[in-house]
Amino acid sequence: MNFSTLKSLSASAMISIVCFASCSSTQQHNVLTDKEKSAGWQLLFDGQTMNGWRDYNGKTLAEPWHVVDGCIQAKGDGSDGSGYIVTDKQYENFELSWDWKLTKGGNSGMLYHVVERSQYKVPYVTGPEYQLIDEPNFDGTLEPWQRLGVDYAMYLPDTAKMKVNPYGEWNNSKIVFDNGHVEHWLNGEKILEFEAWTDDWFARKNSGKWSNAPEYGLAKKGVICLQDHGSPASFRNIKVKELPRKTKEVSLFNGKDLTGWEAYGTEKWYVQDELLVCESGPDKKYGYLATRDYYDDFDLTVEFKQEADGNSGVFIRSFIEEGVKVNGWQVEVAPKGHGTGGVYESYGRGWLIQIPKEKEEFLKVGDWNTMRILLQGSRITTWLNGEEMITLEDEKIGAGQGRIALQIHDGGGIKVLWRNLNLKTL
């Protein structure tokens, strides 16, 4: 377009041209090349509809998002407590790439491993966030952990490697999550790299913004989430390539101390003679010792000896709801006649499956017992001293994820010894 033609255009026509150019170009968007398809990439946005997206903790899409000129666009009506949309599907290990554009002073984000439960009103208390923000024009003071490209409130990028196009122009970002190895990319440059669930990661989690969010960042899988934080934001070319899960063998107890565990409640947990001891305290309440990590699919063996009342248990795919309360599913450890090896749900349904009465004889009173728990998807099988106790298929268990936790029942007088807590992830 020459200068004389440009001068003759009306202001409204100029605005139309700028708006059209904002999401349109000669390059095709929201499509995959044959090479990308063969490599396993999948589109999360078809360029025309909001199919595959819904409200956080919802079944439909009611939040302020729409499609404009081949872009998913946040209208800018969201807030800290609203405006979040998520994918229908959960993702575990992946490469996630997307183009994004903000308005002046805009603020948004891409979250992953987001967990949906009624207890969580907002997604960011569960899943990490790649922060998207127009720093130069943001109305307010930003802490370093709130800036563009950060792993929000956790890890900071190398700003020397960051080349950012200004608001109103497109940028590209990528997250790599590969079995705990995390990378943030911006416009083709890797700006951040760290390992999740290490001692350093937990130290940051427990000492900063997430100190009162016990389940933050622990999930091994979850939905992907876009944030409307009160300013319009546009997204296109959102695509993901799933990566394989790696198995590993883990010793949950080192025989020396409670490293890797977190205690909830006032009951007693300690190490004596290389044994993990759980014992009722003076309050005679429920107590839990939970792994700091999530374990979803696994083959676990534990040895236990009931020195006093043995009313205890092994929780699976459990999470901390509030204070001492642990929600999840419990493989029962109890005195003879009380169903050791059965599965109990701590909220809602109670006993899901109890062992046949004749199998009570497999429990060794006053001696060491070996419990094996095999959990994969929605199927759980337990063994006691080599004898199969139960097999259960349960859809709700299949949808769960969380920690392993040992329990002290309320009522007092309980003392159980534990050793050789060995796990293989599946």
CATH of the domain at 209: 2.60.120.560
First to last CA, the chain: 61
Do 279 and 165 have their domain in common? no
At which of 226, 242, 258 does a domain end?
242
Do 282 and 373 have their domain in common? yes
Number of H helices, E strands in the chain: 5, 28
Do 188 and 257 have their domain in common? no
Output the six-digit token pair for 251.
Answer: 């010793």
Instruction: Classify residue 268: in a domain, yes or no.
Output: yes
Q: pLDDT truncated to tens, each residue of the chain (426 aa)?
A: 433 333 333 333 333 333 334 554 557 999 999 999 999 999 999 999 999 999 999 999 998 899 999 999 999 998 999 999 999 999 999 999 999 999 999 999 999 999 999 999 999 999 999 999 999 999 999 999 999 999 999 999 999 999 999 999 999 999 999 999 999 999 999 999 999 999 999 999 999 999 999 999 999 999 999 999 899 999 999 999 999 999 999 999 999 999 999 999 999 999 999 999 999 999 999 999 999 999 999 999 999 999 988 899 999 999 998 767 889 999 999 999 999 999 999 888 999 999 999 999 999 999 999 999 999 999 999 999 999 999 999 999 999 999 999 999 999 999 999 999 999 999
What's the number of domains the chain is made of? 2
Do 415 and 305 have their domain in common? yes
Instruction: Classify residue 22: in a domain, yes or no.
Output: no
d(CA 64, CA 75) in angstroms, rounded, equals 6
* Rounded alpha-carbon distances, angstroms, from residue 347 to 128, 145, 310, 322: 27, 37, 22, 13
Which of 164, 182, 181 lies closest to 172, judged by CA?
164
- What pLDDT is recorded for position 16? 33
d(CA 237, CA 247) in angstroms, rounded, equals 32
Do 200 and 282 have their domain in common? no
- For CA atoms 278, 280, 282, 285, the dihedral sign is positive
The range of the structural domain enclosing residue 342 comes to 249-425
Do 59 and 200 have their domain in common? yes
* Rounded alpha-carbon distances, angstroms, from residue 139 to 100, 136, 144, 319: 20, 9, 15, 37
- What pLDDT is recorded for position 26? 57
Do 281 and 147 have their domain in common? no
Do 202 and 303 have their domain in common? no
3 state SS of 352: strand
d(CA 365, CA 372) in angstroms, rounded, equals 18
Do 308 and 196 have their domain in common? no
Do 395 and 277 have their domain in common? yes
At which of 202, 226, 242 does a domain end?
242
- What pLDDT is recorded for position 179? 98
Do 88 and 190 have their domain in common? yes
* Rounded alpha-carbon distances, angstroms, from residue 148 to 14, 28, 163, 192: 31, 27, 11, 11
